Structure 1
């Protein structure tokens, strides 16, 4: 029995996760956070001027859900499984309506910027 699961929860893995699963979850989390900060002009400016601790975490989405919505969950099946991606994406979208709108706006802006 595991006494505490906070670190597992942060990475979105279970206490029975393998070392490989933990490593992959960590990589996706870090990559997702970096992408969200650097693709948002306001967040990027705050990061560039004052470092990592100056960025707003309130508007950060689950990195795995962002990748799944941007690129499709099949790219991440080897890392976290199809159902996990679908579950996380749907839970992100099931939140408050303005959160879903923010997600939609971010994804739309990202898609447009990748076309240019």
Structure 2
């Protein structure tokens, strides 16, 4: 947890040399290890990603479902407010889901 950016980079390059797929052609295990190593380096080398990982663990790095207010969606999709009666009903239904 307390490694500096320089230490992380140095450790990554050291391990990457050992398991790089170019050095282990056809070795699926080496390829998988290199991919995991690269993913870890991407997280640890970016301060924002690293903070999120430290706070939330691996689950924090998974893609989250993005939700949008149906009224905004239909307004953007069709460029008008003429769907308000339907999106209003959808919005009420969406809000009801939060309480059940």
Please indicate the TM-score interval, normalised by the length of the shorter structure: 0.3 to 0.5
TM-score under structure 1 normalisation?
0.30
- Larger Rg belongs to: 2
TM-score of the superposition, structure 2-length normalised? Answer: 0.35
